[in-house]
Amino acid sequence: MCGIVGYVGEKEASDFLIEGLRRLEYRGYDSAGIAVYDQGKIQIEKKMGRLANLEKVLETHPLHGKIGIGHTRWATHGGPSDVNAHPHGDCHNHFVVVHNGIIENYMEIKKELLEKGHIFKSETDTEVVAHLAEELDDGDFLSTVRKVIARITGSYTLVFMDAAQPDTIICTKKDNPLIIGLGQGENFIASDIPAVISHTRRIYILNDGEMAVVRKTGVSVYDGEGLPVSKKIHEVTWSAEAAEKGGYPHFMLKEIYEQPKAVRDTVNIHIGQDSQIVFDTLNWNKSDLMGMDNILITACGTAYHAGLVAKHYIEQFARIPVEVDIASEYRYRRPLTTERTLAVVISQSGETIDTLAALKEARRLGARSIAVTNSIGSSIAREADRVIYTLAGPEIAVASTKAYTTQLVALLMLALYMGQLKGTVTNEQVQDVVKALQTLPEKIEKILENSQYIAGLADHLTKVKDVFYIGRSIDYAIAMEGALKLKEISYIHAEAYAGGELKHGTLALIVPETPVIAVATQDDVKSKMYSNIQEVRARNAEVIGIGFDDDRELEKYVTETIRIPRVSGFIAPILSVIPMQLLAYYTGVKRGNDVDKPRNLAKSVTVE
Ligand code: F6R
């Protein structure tokens, strides 16, 4: 996910470009750049790191001009670096582009262009677009762009400048957002409304396949066939602050609602031909797996909870023993890690120092390693032998939500992939899970549709001092994540217990004022779980049960029920965690807390 801006008008383009990028920095922040038509050519300045780095460069090398484009990057192809930052130009910076998305067939096009003598500077998929425009240039900017679009596949927002037409920007999109802000004698292009809202509230929202020719005097939009389209002007009514969050009151809620897309993206990159599971970055064969005695999963916080679920996945499907350890504990206990251990570290940010240190220790002891991370080019991604990326997009709220569900998806697929290679799962089992994963986004949507009911349940929690979360088997791991979410966002004491463990001491704390959240999705321990629920009901505690929508029995034992669509026990955690995220969110909001930045916490913990 990247941020894109463009400007054409009477003012200094770079002023709007930098301001717009700052408002879009939440979309990506590993590098930034702008291109401006200045002194008879398109000039580019770009820099790795936060926007402030680019601003520093512009202090000594300012770009003056009235038309330009800009980009803030969240790397996909090619790590974060000055050279991989956008904008990208062709051999002569005749065509210059910024891009959000992925050009799937870029390798094939790049090969062809290299043979024709084009010289590439970066490792990005985007650069091929600029060179392709140079190759297909017929002197008509719009027609050239149309030819480029006809050649590329994938998802994109693309914005083009042409040195031969220094009064025009052309942009188009497929499966990625793009809006055009309509001003007086000036027009703006952006991936999202916040970039333009302080200049205009009148916008066009571009549809897939449409192309906009943007000049200071006006904007013309064409469909994929090149026919003019008459666009409706949308009047934005949000405040600038609300717009940045896409209309949501908090990033956390926005990110909870982004889960269908994040899960879909993460599933899709691992489905190959014949619906087999693929992990291109691992490059393993059966003997690699046969050489593994055990797997060590290590991580912190929410990522550690994902590891606890992954233990169930890997042991079930790949039949390899898995130990899960908190990263800050692992390296201080003389672990029994060997060269026959596979270390799997999980980290949204890829920068958590405890996780990084545990990874280094496991490698020092001879283990092979995989990082599961959401941050391309992060320290953990660089340290590990192999990397699996979750495609959650930038997560801004401190409380992890979409990163967690995508970690579960990636780890479930990894377990099946290992099982596939080892022969410990049947093709039919793989196909069943793949099918279930493909329909998961719709099921998440269904839960999200019920969010007002969950918001109502949060009223029960706002005044309490303690909440217990219980579950058995995988549901216990999910209960731990539910309890952590409530603690960090609402500041209410919450604890997770394995359902069967309550009676060994904790039941003494269950009183009518202590609500219990009971997760009951695992069929093999269902009857045991119902008994545990009855144990707490007998102490007059209120119980909110989370179970499948066709489970008529659960509602007999609980005071309130949150229903999730029926799926297999392995898929259930990816759904059952969502009502718990919402419950924590609404409880935090109702208690007046700053849910995006809870007290004492930071998004990326780079201290031990
Ligand atoms: C909780 C949360 C933290 C992180 C933990 C690890 O909502 O966000 O518990 O999960 O600090 O962070 P990463 O995954 O970046 O290593």
Domains of the chain: residue spans and CATH: 3-242 (3.60.20.10), 246-438 (3.40.50.10490), 446-593 (3.40.50.10490)
- Round to the nearest angstrom and report the end-to-end CA distance of the chain: 30
Q: What is the pLDDT averaged over residues 120-148?
A: 96
Residues with Cβ < 8 Å from 432, sequence gap 6 or more?
568
Q: What pTM was estimated for this model as a whole? A: 0.76
pLDDT per residue as tens digits for the range 327-347: 999 988 889 999 999 999 999
pLDDT band, residue 80 (cuts 50/70/90)? confident
Q: What is the pLDDT averaged over residues 128-154?
A: 96
pLDDT per residue as tens digits for the range 214-245: 999 999 999 988 899 999 898 887 666 666 78
Interaxial angle between packed helices 259-268 and 402-422, expressed in degrees from 0 to 180 and rounded to the nearest 10: 20
Catalytic-residue membership of 232: no
Q: Please tell me the distance from the alpha carbon of residue 35 to that of residue 143, in angstroms, as a whole number.
A: 22
Probe target for ligand 1 pocket from 491, 605, 606, with the most ligand atoms within 8 Å of CB: 605
Atom of ligand 1 nearest to the CA of 380: 16
Least confident range from 24-38, 119-133, 475-489: namely 24-38
Pair type for strands 67-73 and 3-8: antiparallel
Residue labelled with tokens 């793989």: 430
pLDDT per residue as tens digits for the range 567-577: 999 999 999 99
Helix (H, G, I), strand (E, B) or coil at 134: helix
pLDDT per residue as tens digits for the range 542-556: 999 999 999 999 999
On the question of pLDDT at 26 being above 80, the answer is no
Mean pLDDT, the chain, rounded, equals 93
Ligand 1 centre distance from Cα of residue 76 (Å):
22
Atom 7 (ligand 1): residue with closest C-alpha? 399
Contact assessment for residue 335 and residue 308, using Cβ atoms and an 8 Å cutoff: no
Q: Which amino acids bring their CB within 6 angstroms of ligand 1?
A: 300-303, 347-349, 352, 355, 399-400, 484, 488, 604-605
Per cent of the chain over pLDDT 90 is 79
pLDDT band, residue 28 (cuts 50/70/90)? low
Q: Residue 76: its pLDDT value, please?
A: 75
pLDDT band, residue 209 (cuts 50/70/90)? very high
Query: What does the block give as tokens for 436?
Result: 């279930």
Cα–chain center distance at 154: 18
Q: Residue 75: its pLDDT value, please?
A: 79
Query: What does the block give as tokens for 554?
Result: 């659960």
Catalytic-residue membership of 2: yes
Q: Residue 241: its pLDDT value, please?
A: 66
Helix (H, G, I), strand (E, B) or coil at 202: strand
Atom 10 (ligand 1): residue with closest C-alpha? 302
Ligand 1 centre distance from Cα of residue 528 (Å):
32
pLDDT band, residue 177 (cuts 50/70/90)? confident
Contact assessment for residue 384 and residue 372, using Cβ atoms and an 8 Å cutoff: no
User: How many residues make up the chain in this entry?
Assistant: 608
Contact assessment for residue 297 and residue 323, using Cβ atoms and an 8 Å cutoff: yes
Q: Residue 597: its pLDDT value, please?
A: 84
Ligand 1 centre distance from Cα of residue 91 (Å):
43
Closest to 205 (Cα-Cα) out of 177, 171, 241? 177
Q: Residue 604: its pLDDT value, please?
A: 66
Ligand 1 centre distance from Cα of residue 604 (Å):
7
Least confident range from 71-85, 351-365, 449-463, 483-497: namely 71-85
pLDDT band, residue 424 (cuts 50/70/90)? very high
Residue labelled with tokens 């693309």: 158
Closest to 203 (Cα-Cα) out of 218, 213, 188? 188
Least confident range from 18-22, 169-173, 223-227, 364-368: namely 223-227
Residue labelled with tokens 């897939």: 208
Q: Residue 608: its pLDDT value, please?
A: 63
Per cent of the chain over pLDDT 70 is 97
On the question of pLDDT at 264 being above 90, the answer is yes
pLDDT per residue as tens digits for the range 557-597: 999 999 999 999 999 999 999 999 999 999 999 999 999 98
Q: Could you give the residue ranges of the DSSP H alpha helices within 50-191?
A: 51-60, 106-115, 127-136, 141-151
Residue with the bigger pLDDT between 262 and 75: it is: 262
Contact assessment for residue 368 and residue 340, using Cβ atoms and an 8 Å cutoff: no
